Chain A
Amino acid sequence: GEDVEQSLFLSVREGDSSVINCTYTDSSSTYLYWYKQEPGAGLQLLTYIFSNMDMKQDQRLTVLLNKKDKHLSLRIADTQTGDSAIYFCAESPLNYGGSQGNLIFGKGTKLSVKP
């Protein structure tokens, strides 16, 4: 079945790099996403990667995809206290009509950044 797994907690010091890992199961997923959720807020799309890519960099964010192992990671360089939030990995399995309305989310990784 479809399942996305990620570790629940990560604690880093301000200025360090953070690496959040995720494994997914559906090889048909064409896009893989990273979302951020701050307390009391909805989800904010941080970045995404197409399944035929190995890496994508966007300012402080680097996404690595190992399609063979179905492993996705998000690296945040120079982590700041404002990066403290819950980070969700999500995959979008192929659906009728090719829509991406159905995202399968991991349980989220709570990132705590200590000053």
Chain B
Amino acid sequence: KAGVTQTPRYLIKTRGQQVTLSCSPISGHRSVSWYQQTPGQGLQFLFEYFSETQRNKGNFPGRFSGRQFSNSRSEMNVSTLELGDSALYLCASSLGASDDEQFFGPGTRLTVL
């Protein structure tokens, strides 16, 4: 079956703009989590959605938001982009129970100029 897909794979934006990233989970998966990966901070959890509801949230400013649709596809939005938002954004999906494996997508590489 198809894995987790993320679009777009690469994105270049300028400071002050906003951006929307998309994640399509594996069919049947109801949980989608988002992570930010940077060389300095490593992998940091942004938020998790389960059945269209935000179930967990990391320590990121309100400029970072997300949502999940009824088909479990998820989007994350970053408003008023800053240079420090340049990162690889990874999405992971799982069935949603406590011992379910998370499957990661290839990520979206965002560059903010």
Question: A: which residues have CB within 8 A of B?
Answer: 30-31, 35, 40-45, 48, 88, 90, 95-108
Contacts and interface: CB of A to CB of B under 8 A. Distances in A.
Interface string B69-111: 0000000000000000000001010101111111111110000
15 contacts: A45-B101, A96-B56, A97-B50, A99-B48, A100-B94, A100-B98, A100-B100, A101-B45, A101-B50, A101-B102, A102-B45, A102-B58, A103-B43, A103-B102, A108-B43
B42 A101 contact: no
Size band of the B side of the interface? Answer: 20 to 34
A60 to B, nearest CB: 19
B55 interface: yes
B105 A42 contact: yes
Nearest to A108: B42
A41 B9 CA distance: 11
A108 B105 CA distance: 18
B31 interface: yes
A99 B50 contact: yes
Given A101-B31, A102-B56, A105-B43, A42 B98 contact: no
Contacts of B102: 45, 100-101, 103
